[in-house]
Structure 1
Amino acid sequence: MAMKATTQFSPSRNDSNCTSDSRISQVIFPLLYTFLFLVGITMNSLAMWVFFKISSKSYFIIFLKNTVISDFLMILTFPFKILSDAKLVSWVLRGFVCQVTQVVFYFTMYISILFLGLITIDRYQKATSPFRTSSPRSLLAAKVLSSAVWLAMFALSLPNMILSNKKKTPRNVRKCALLKSEFGLVWHEIVNYICQLIFWVNLAVIVVCYILISKELYKSYKRTRCTGKASKKTVNLKVFIIIAVFFVCFVPFHFTRIPYTLSQTRDVFDCSARNALFYLKETTLWLTSLNACLDPFIYFFLCKSFRKSLLDMLCKHRAVSGLGAQGKNEGDDSDETPL
Structure 2
Amino acid sequence: MTNSSLFCPVYRDLEPFTYFFYLVFLVGIIGSCFATWAFLQKTTNPRCVSIYLINLLTADFLLTLALPVKIIVDLGVAPWKLRIFHCQVTACLIYINMYLSIIFLAFVSIDRCLQLIHSSKIYRIQEPGFAKMISTVVWLMVLLIMVPNMLIPIEDIEEKASVGCMEFKKEFGRNWHLLTNFLCVAIFLNFSAIILISNFLAIRQLYRNKDNENYPNVKRALVNILLVTTGYIICFVPYHAVRIPYTLSQTEVISDCPTRISLFKAKEATLLLAVSNLCFDPILYYHLSKAFRLKVSETFASSKETKTQKGKTRCGNGVENIEFFHLTPSSLSIP
TM-score in terms of structure 1 length: 0.86
1:270 Cα deviation from its structure 2 partner: 0.9
CA distance in structure 2 between the partners assigned to 1:28 and 1:325 by the alignment:
41
Match among 41, 44, 63 for residue 53 of structure 1: 41
Residue by residue, what CA displacement relative to the aligned partner does 1:60-101 show, whole Å, maximum 9, x if unpaired?
Answer: 111011111111211221110011110122122111100000
2:147 pairs with 1:170: no
Q: Which residue of 1 aligns with 2:201?
A: 212
SS of equivalent residue, structure 2 residue 234: helix
CA distance in structure 1 between the partners assigned to 2:304 and 2:328 by the alignment:
28
Q: Which residue of 1 aligns with 2:6?
A: 16
1:84–1:94 contact (8 Å) kept in structure 2: yes
SS of equivalent residue, structure 2 residue 208: helix
SS of equivalent residue, structure 1 residue 240: helix
Match among 134, 141, 144 for residue 130 of structure 2: 141
Distance change in 2, residues 1:37/1:265 (3 Å): same
Structure 1 letter corresponding to 2:312: N
Match among 263, 277, 280 for residue 291 of structure 1: 277
1:324 Cα deviation from its structure 2 partner: 11
Moved more, 156-165 or 166-175: 166-175
Q: Which residue of 2 aligns with 1:7?
A: none
Structure 1 letter corresponding to 2:221: V
Distance change in 2, residues 1:21/1:93 (3 Å): closer
CA distance in structure 2 between the partners assigned to 1:20 and 1:97 by the alignment:
18
CA distance in structure 2 between the partners assigned to 1:293 and 1:56 by the alignment:
27
CA distance in structure 2 between the partners assigned to 1:211 and 1:149 by the alignment:
24
Residue by residue, what CA displacement relative to the aligned partner does 1:117-169 show, whole Å, maximum 9, x if unpaired?
Answer: 1100111111122244689x931121011011111111111111122521253
2:38–2:291 contact (8 Å) kept in structure 1: no
Segments of structure 1 that go 5 or more residues without pairing to the other structure are 1-10
Distance change in 2, residues 1:118/1:15 (3 Å): same
2:64 pairs with 1:75: yes
Give identity over the alignment, percent.
Answer: 31
Distance change in 2, residues 1:51/1:325 (3 Å): farther
Match among 89, 98, 101 for residue 109 of structure 1: 98
Distance change in 2, residues 1:193/1:235 (3 Å): same
Structure 2 letter corresponding to 1:331: R
Structure 2 letter corresponding to 1:31: Y
Q: Which residue of 2 aligns with 1:121?
A: 110
Structure 1 letter corresponding to 2:326: E
1:95–1:168 contact (8 Å) kept in structure 2: no
CA distance in structure 1 between the partners assigned to 2:111 and 2:189 by the alignment:
19
Structure 1 letter corresponding to 2:173: G
Distance change in 2, residues 1:228/1:52 (3 Å): same
1:304 Cα deviation from its structure 2 partner: 3.0
Corresponding pairs, count: 321
Distance change in 2, residues 1:104/1:21 (3 Å): closer
TM-score in terms of structure 2 length: 0.87
2:4–2:255 contact (8 Å) kept in structure 1: no
Structure 1 letter corresponding to 2:36: M
Match among 254, 264, 281 for residue 278 of structure 1: 264
2:92–2:150 contact (8 Å) kept in structure 1: yes
Q: Which residue of 1 aligns with 2:319?
A: none
Mapping 1:32-47, distance limit 5 Å: 32-47=20-35
2:10–2:260 contact (8 Å) kept in structure 1: no
Q: Which residue of 2 aligns with 1:6?
A: none
CA distance in structure 1 between the partners assigned to 2:58 and 2:233 by the alignment:
22
Which of the pair is proportionally richer in helix? 1
Q: Which residue of 1 aligns with 2:286?
A: 300
